[in-house]
Amino acid sequence: YLEAEDGLEAFKTLLGNPVDVVLCDLEMPGMDGLKFLGMRNSRPELMHIPVILLTGSESREQKVKGLEQGASDYVVKPFDSEELIARVRVQLKLKRLQDDLKAQNLKLEKLSNIDPLTEIANRRALMRALESESQRSERRGHPLSLLMVDIDHFKKINDRFGHQQGDLVLKAVAGAINDGLRDYDLAARFGGEEFTLMLPETDLARAAQVAERVRAKIAGLRLGGRLGSLQVTVSLGVASRPSPDIQNVDDLIRIADDALYEAKQEGRNRVVVASSS
């Protein structure tokens, strides 16, 4: 266990050490227990740590103040040591349950945003990110580009090799698209064999270069096993805002998708940049 002489030292201890529960005297030199609780409450990463206040005061008002400030429990001195240990154990159990729940919630949040097959972002996560980046792009006048990527003749791959092998192709393509991105770029599975790549702070010319690099990288993939003889190619459509024809996220997706359709019509395994951008 860790000890501190006063509230300020206790707060510094919390900042620098993993702590499961705090026993804090209400009356301390320099900083009392209520001020300590106030400082703890100012840091979101510390608010989950339970604090048991200890005091010699029987004042109902003091108890209420402590609990309102976020104390988890209140023990009046002199106290029975077994009772105090029991109260500490209760708080430790509650914290473990809270930590487990938080971990599960984080896991569920991650699962809700990740495509389980390719392990890149799913359409839901993409749309949320696009809305945020589109608003930022409009507010600051910075460019935002979108690549729509479709695996060429994917149905034939499934028909020839089977869906399990087709899944391996999807994973390989997703990995190639996701490789080498900046922290604020986002690769996502849009649906089926179609993927997207969101490129904030990227104008149309630069996005076209990225698209060509992705196309070449995927064309150079060499898959093993039953897929050893297969050459995978993709078609890509590129759109960017600001553009007079792009007012919102739906417009950006639609115009990039139109460019993708044109790439497929022109023979596939190529990049088409939306002329309206």
Beta bridge partners of 203: none
Cβ–Cβ under 8 Å, residues 158 and 230: no
CA-based nearest residue to 232, from 135, 153, 155: 153
Strands 51-55, 73-76: pairing is: parallel
Beta bridge partners of 197: 147, 187
Report which secondary-structure segment, H or E, holds 246.
none
Asked about 262 being catalytic, the answer comes back as no
Using CA atoms, how far apart are residues 145 and 242, in angstroms rounded to an integer? 9
**SS3 state at 235:** strand
CB burial of 113-139 (b: ≥16 within 10 Å; e: otherwise) equals bbbeebebbbeebbbebbeebbeebee
Beta bridge partners of 148: 196, 237
Cβ–Cβ under 8 Å, residues 130 and 249: yes
Q: What is the helix, strand, coil percentage profile of the chain, to 5?
A: 50, 20, 30
Catalytic one among 9, 61, 131, 193? 193
Residue 138 contacts by C-beta under 8 Å, 6 or more apart in sequence?
A: 241, 242
CA-based nearest residue to 206, from 190, 185, 221, 189: 185
Active-site positions?
193
